[in-house]
Amino acid sequence: MLQDTVIKEISSHLKCQPGDITLDMRLDELGIDSLGAITIMYELEDRLDVEIPNEVFDKLTIVNDIVNQLELLLGNRNSE
């Protein structure tokens, strides 16, 4: 499931347990700054074989924002 993949990637980046992260947690409260968010998104790009446009990064506030953006990108890719 996509949300599990996102949470695992974030927990790997933060070196914590996936169970410590919920979808409604703010990235800044987790200690993820803009560089950290970019790093996580690039890892997810590689893992999911999707290209994430740079303007997406400005829309990321909570963990679920990452999931939603990836769902949109993957859905658009599958409909082409």
Q: So what's the pLDDT on residue 34?
A: 86
The answer to whether 20 is a known catalytic residue is: no
Q: How far is CA 30 from CA 20, 50, 61, in A?
A: 10, 25, 11
Of the candidates 4, 33, 49, 65, the residue annotated as catalytic is: 33
Q: Are 44 and 52 in contact (CB under 8 A)?
A: yes
CATH class in words for 2-79:
mainly alpha
- Dmax (CA) for the chain in angstroms is 37
C-alpha–C-alpha distance, residues 35 and 21, integer Å = 19
DSSP, collapsed to helix, strand or coil, labels residue 24 as coil
Domain ranges across the chain:
2-79
In tens digits, what is the pLDDT along the chain, a chain of 80 residues?
A: 899 999 999 999 999 999 999 999 999 999 999 899 999 999 999 999 999 898 888 889 999 999 999 999 998 766 55
Locate the DSSP E strands across the chain. none
